[in-house]
Amino acid sequence: MFNRLLLSTVLGGVLVAAFVAAGGGVSQAQTSQAKKWTVPRTPDGQPDLQGFWNNTTYTPLQRPTGVNKEFYTAEEAVEMINKAAAAEAEQTVPGTVEDVHYDFTQFGLDRSQAPLAQNLRTSLIVDPADGKLPPLTDEGRRRQTARAEARKRAGGPTDAVQNQSLSVRCILMDRNGPPMLAGAYNNNYQIVQAPGYVMILVEMLHGPRIIPIDGRAQLPPAIRQLEGSSRGRWEGDTLVVETTNFTDATGFQGSSENMRLTERFTRVDADTILYRFTVDDPSTWTRPWSAEVPWRKAVGPLFEHACHEGNYGLYNTLAGARAQDKREAEASASKPSK
């Protein structure tokens, strides 16, 4: 524990230094550097977004209760990060659900051991201005209830492998998206550009997003995909990616298959891409909403994440449930009949 706290303190110090030295967030950097920063070009003249990136953040999607401003000061941001980092490094209480887990810090997986872009925002959501998801529409509420009822009808989470979430089954995780948001760890991406295409390799699940930028139409509406159908274009130096054709199983924050997602990738300096996305789904929310998170230049290469192949945990979970079923059946069979 001592070692962990020591490391946390050391890394906290690094973060403090980074924030104070920078003296501002991405939004400030963006405006001041828009004048000086010249985006490098690929040989065929596209703005060059290529390389390895990481979108780890301590900033929550929605603004925490009690915080009533858009930006922290640099000092407040450091305090927020240090508190969160210390909480991650702390021991969990024996005998609690949280304690039934390996230790993140022992495996280098807590966020203080990942690259981190400066971000003074108090929430990733930038619109609406209150930093919160807009209210659900009546249809959105009805769908939420219907989905909960469908889950109940399907039985418990260990009654069938299909009842486990897409991430537990190694099919789709939050890093894959889209939109692509950081999870607990391994929030690494590689962008590769070729004439007519941008490819974003997501380390988690080793999932490549291949985005045509040659002006072709979206897939026909009848073809639905978990990650939708993405088409990109350049608006100035910003890569804009529109994604439609989601399925009902995607459900990002409760979204419907009609979600229209617009992602914007802007390289604001040598070490940062500003990633902004807008969710437009009138059958779920009363208005569109947008969020923003900086991606920090990271160390390559990406490593294989053959999740399904090594997913012993899924087997163990189901085997544990079957062992429990057996114990219960034996206990009920051995009960004297009345």
Partner 1 sequence: MRTTFAAAIAGAAILFAAAPTRAHHAFSAEFDISKPLKLQGTLRKWEMINPHSWFHVDVKMPDGTVVPWLIEGGSPNQLIRLGVTKNTLAVGTEFIIEGYQARDGTNKAVGRNFQFADGRTLFLGGSAPGAAGADKP
Subset of 222-281 contacting partner 1 (CB under 8 A)? 271
| Residue 102, SS3 per DSSP | coil
| Residue 328, SS3 per DSSP | helix
Which of 262, 317 has the CB closer to partner 1?
317
Which of 1, 194 has the CB closer to partner 1?
1
Closest by Cα among 50, 14, 44, 4 to 267: 50
Distance CA 11, CA 78 (A): 11
Which of 138, 309 has the CB closer to partner 1?
309
Which of 18, 39 has the CB closer to partner 1?
18
Which of 4, 231 has the CB closer to partner 1?
4
Which of 100, 333 has the CB closer to partner 1?
100
Name the segment binding partner 1 (CB under 8 A); options: 27-35, 92-100, 217-225, 253-261.
92-100
Q: Which of 102, 145, 334, 335 binds partner 1 (CB under 8 A)?
A: 102
Q: Which of 80, 189, 202, 203 binds partner 1 (CB under 8 A)?
A: 203
Q: Which of 19, 185, 246, 285 binds partner 1 (CB under 8 A)?
A: 185
CB of 16 to partner 1, least distance (A): 12
Q: Which of 135, 323, 328, 329 binds partner 1 (CB under 8 A)?
A: 323
114: tokens are 């990942």
Percent helix, strand, coil in the chain, to 5, is 30, 20, 45
Which of 200, 241 has the CB closer to partner 1?
200
Residue 189 neighbours by CB distance under 10 Å: 22
Terminal C-alpha separation, the chain = 55
CB of 70 to partner 1, least distance (A): 24
Distance CA 224, CA 226 (A): 7
Q: Which of 43, 66, 68, 98 binds partner 1 (CB under 8 A)?
A: 98
Which of 137, 158 has the CB closer to partner 1?
158
# residues near partner 1 by CB under 8 A: 74
Contact 272/294 with Cβ under 8 angstroms?
Answer: yes
Q: Which of 119, 176, 188, 250 binds partner 1 (CB under 8 A)?
A: 188
Closest by Cα among 269, 261, 212 to 237: 269
103 lies in the site for partner 1, by CB under 8 A? yes
Q: Which of residues 109-128 bind partner 1 (CB under 8 A)?
A: 109-110, 113-116
60 lies in the site for partner 1, by CB under 8 A? no
Query: Which residues have CB under 8 Å from 161's CB, separation 6+?
Result: 169, 314, 318
Query: Which residues have CB under 8 Å from 265's CB, separation 6+?
Result: 49, 238, 239, 241, 273, 274, 275
Name the segment binding partner 1 (CB under 8 A); options: 99-107, 129-137, 193-201, 274-282.
99-107
CA angle at residue 71 from 5 to 280, to 5 degrees?
110
Phi, psi torsion values for 189, nearest 5 degrees = -140, 150
94 lies in the site for partner 1, by CB under 8 A? yes
Distance CA 13, CA 4 (A): 14
Give, in order, the Cα–Cα distances in Å from 172 to each of 207, 276, 308. 9, 21, 11
284: tokens are 């779920």
Q: Which of residues 1-40 bind partner 1 (CB under 8 A)?
A: 1-4, 7, 11, 14-15, 18
CB of 99 to partner 1, least distance (A): 6
Amino acid at 197: Y
215 lies in the site for partner 1, by CB under 8 A? no
Q: Which of residues 282-321 bind partner 1 (CB under 8 A)?
A: 296-299, 303-307, 309-314, 316-317, 319-321
